[in-house]
Copies of this chain bind each other. A is one copy, B any other.
Amino acid sequence: MPVQLLTIKVSKGLYLRDPQESELGRRIIGEGVKLLDKLGFEGFTFKKLGTRIGSPEASIYRYFKNKRQFLQYITALYWGWIKFRIDMILRFHKGRKERIEALLSVLTEIGTDDPATPFVDEKLLCRVVMSQSKKVFPINKAEQEGGCTKEYRVLLRSIGDIILSINPKFKFPLALSSTLLSAAHEQIQYSTHFTSLTELKGRNSKKMLREFLKVLLAPALTQAKCHTK
């Protein structure tokens, strides 16, 4: 029996053959992410990826029906990965304040590579998802419930539950979760590539991001003790 690698479960509709189960599949993911990061979704082709990994494009088509599905897959993988990190960290942080700090840590540390998943570079994966993931949100209704929203929804619920565990009366846990998540990704992207779009840049950018996210979280945590008026 071979060493069991850490795998992240992804909905069945997002692949034809599970790429995490074979060497070729893992190479497709690993190198595919690199190539997507380099070329962007438009420039990326299975042909180029095939050349890169020394396999014909037809082999890749056996794993994913097209490159759209491929991007959906790695996006789902990414959300699953973040949820995994949140679940892990929550296992060791039971106190209310502790949980908030832990959540903030995960959010500020997205986009840092983790050696636990050897076949994919999370830093690149995060970059790709940040810049490309919107391309993947289903357009037509057929794709809508079937596809890649599932792992995103599950992630939002995890974060929402943390928020509720601090303040059970807060009315918008899901909305706040997606806002936090988007804001974290957006600000990280801006801080590295579009510095004129944010104050969170330079040496202290991570610290400031954490502070900023805490500000966003604040009203949800203060149990309506504090009013603007």
CB <8 Å contact, A40 and B139:
yes
Copies of this subunit: 2
Interface size class of A (residues with CB under 8 A): 35 or more
| A228 part of interface (Cβ distance < 8 Å) | yes
Docked complex Cα distance between A173 and B200 (Å): 10
The reply to whether the CB of A59 lies closer than 8 angstroms to some CB of chain B is: no
Q: Are B172 and A215 interface neighbours, CB within 8 A? A: yes
Chain A residues touching B, majority SS: helix
Interface string of A101-140 (1 = CB under 8 A from B): 0000000000000000000000000000001111101010
Asked if A221 CB lies within 8 Å of chain B CBs, one says yes
Q: Which of B133, B173, B226 contacts A226 (CB 8 A)?
A: B226
Nearest-neighbour CB distance to chain B for A33, whole angstroms, equals 15
Tell me which of A2-10, A19-27, A48-56, A178-186 binds B. A178-186
